[in-house]
Structures are given as structure tokens and as C-alpha cells.
Chain A
Amino acid sequence: MAQATAAHTGATADRPDGLEGFVSDWGSDQRAFKGVPWGKAMMWIFLLSDTFIFTCFLLSYMTVRMSTTVPWPNPSEIFALSFGGEPIPLILIAIMTFILISSSGTMAMAVKFGYERNRKVSAILMLVTAMFGAMFVGMQAFEWSKLILEEGVRPWGNPFGAAQFGSSFFMITGFHGFHVSVGVIFLLITARKVWRGDFDSAKRGFFTSRKGNYEAVEIMGLYWHFVDLVWVFIFAVFYLW
């Protein structure tokens, strides 16, 4: 590790660990993030800014929900689904949660196999991840159509209670679904690059004209896990509240 990365990511082997390392890295008068490729650091900083965007959405939702005097619609009943018998509460959302977690698992392994130069397995795992993501978006589309067409939920009102339910729901899940969709597209692009061996042949990217390497798979993974991470918070505070 230390030898392989010393040339291009900053040596870490001879640096102190822990708090002392934190101080010496930041005070090194050089790059602060030792051992972190710049692309990965930039993805982390992008994800941090995205965290604040979702924070604003979820906080606005919290504020309107806590300040309204009208009863809030019960998500447990609204998102219930019947498979012939009694409606099972929140079942669609639970299935979507499990699908997204599974996609995170396959993505984590795709990163590992990418670094091992196991191109086929890495690409296939990324395609499986993309498939899970597409399934998630599909189920979300189903949920939206059901709410809009059958239940009559609108951003400005709904038959269940507080009018703010619709605007919060469409804004939060819509923005998250958009993130998933973008992730699926980039997963397909990255999987194609890995499958073709672009990162081994140092082929220049179509858009950036730069030579890529397998860090791109880890960066893709960071984005994808973040999408899963946001869903954890949406699931807890929007659907379970």
C-alpha cells in the first residue's frame, strides 16, 4: 500500500496515526488528505455539500410537520399495499429499503474486485447494482403514480390531512430518486469502462480526456453508498415518524 501509493497519493507509512496524525497532516504545509486520491477527496466534499441539501429538505419537512395544526397523514397506512389479502403497512417502502441495501452490498464488492483487477466480476457486480437501482426507481415511479392518480395527492393538498404532506413527499423522494437515476447512468458508464479494460490500457476518457484508474470505481461506490445513506434517513424520518 505505502509503496504503491507513495508516488501519487502521498506517503502515509512514516506518518503518525490518530490525533497526532490529524494535526501533522493538516499542519504539513502540503496536501492535507494523505493517502486519499484527489478524485476521492473531491467526491467526499461533493457528498458533504449534498448532505446539506438533503438536510435542508428534511429540516423543512420537520418544521412544517411540527408546526401544522392539522393532523399529519399516516404514512404507515398510505404506503400500505395489499397482495390479495389484508393491506400490509409500509411494505413497499420496506422492499425498496432492502433493494437499496443489497445494491450497496454489491457495489462495495465491485470496488474490491476492481482494485484486484478482476474486471469481469467487478463490471458484473456494478451491473447488478445498476439493476437494483433501476428496480428502486421503478418502484418509486409506481408509488408516485398510485399517490397522484389513485389517491389524488398534490403538492398543495391531499385527502388525508395536512397539505404540506404532498410537497414534502414529492420534493424529498423526488430529489432522492433523481440521485438514484443519475447513479444508475454513471454505474453503467463505469461498468462499461471496467469491462473494456479502459483503466488497464490507460485509455483517455471521452469527456475529460484524462487517463482513469480503478479509483474511479471506489469514487462511484462512494456516490452510490451516499444514495443509500440518504435513504436511511428518509426512511426513518419520513416513513417511520
Chain B
Amino acid sequence: MAQAQDHHQAVAGAPHVEGQQHPIGIYFKIWGLLFVLSAFSYAVDYFHVQGYLRWTLILIFMVAKAGLIVAVFMHMMWERLAIVYAILTPPVLVLIFVAMMTFESDYTFLTRGLFFAIGE
């Protein structure tokens, strides 16, 4: 936030400058970083990493990419907390939904297994 304020002051002399303005370098850096992270997640599949390691890596790269896009490309890191919390808290609550559906599908899998094993 402090950096953003400094930068806004730096460009305040330009005519009619408003909204989110940031040096172009940060976009190139994030672009490069997203390329590297995507290459990593592709490599996870290419080199057949399996099991818990696969899931850990995939989820880390996914969250890192999503975070970079929201924070920098969508300018969330420069917004005030009022809108950051209003927009980002609800999707986090979706994790509860994910947990519920995990239990539900495990239960369905179990009953299907029982049904096919015992027959009717």
C-alpha cells in the first residue's frame, strides 16, 4: 500500500491520471512467474509424479498462480481491505462445500461398492 501511494504521488503530475497505475515491470515479472509456475505444473504430469506429492505440487502451483493473477493483474493488492474482504472471503467459504461433497462422494462410493459386491 505504501509503495502504491508513493507511486501515485510520483505520477500525480501527469494530466488526468486516475485509477490503478503501476510500473510496467511488475506485469512482466508476474507474466514470467506465471509461465514458470505453469511449466512446473505441466512437468508434474510430464514426469508422472504420483500420490500425495502430485496433489501437493498441483495445489501449490494452482494457488500460487491464482494468487498472483488476483493480487497483481486484478490489482487486489492495491485495493482497500473493504473490497478485498468482500470479494475474497466468500470463495474461501467454498472450502466447506468441498469438504461436504468429499464426505458425500465417499459415502456414495462406499454404498455403490457394497451394492455391487453383495448384489441384490
Contacts and interface: CB of A to CB of B under 8 A. Distances in A.
Contact of B31 (A22, A36, A63, A102): A102
Contacts of A51: 90-91, 94
B66 A232 contact: yes
A5 interface: yes
Nearest to B46: A89
A215 B18 CA distance: 9
- B contact face: mostly helix, strand, loop, or mixed: helix
Interface string A201-240: 0000000000000110010011001101100110111011
B102 A66 contact: yes
Contacts of A26: 82
Interface in B8-32: 8-9, 12, 14-22, 24, 27-28, 30-31
A37 B97 CA distance: 32
A117 B16 contact: yes
B81 A18 contact: yes
A4 B20 contact: no
A32 B82 contact: yes
Contacts of A9: 18
B81 A19 contact: yes
A4 B17 contact: yes
A36 B79 contact: yes
Interface band, chain B: 35 or more
Nearest to A7: B18
Q: Chain A interface: which size bin?
A: 35 or more
Contacts of B75: 218
Contacts of A12: 80
Contacts of B77: none
A66 B1 CA distance: 43
Given A5-B18, A32-B86, A34-B82, A225 B73 contact: yes
Given A1-B12, A102-B31, A59 B101 contact: yes
Contacts of B66: 229, 232-233
Interface in A18-48: 18-19, 21-22, 25-26, 32-37, 41, 44-45, 47-48
B80 A22 contact: yes
Contacts of A66: 102, 105-106, 109
Contacts of B28: 105
B65 to A, nearest CB: 5
Query: 4 nearest interchain CB pairs?
Result: A1-B8, A105-B31, A66-B105, A25-B82
Given A76-B45, A108-B31, A221-B74, 4 more contacts: A34-B82, A62-B101, A90-B42, A233-B62
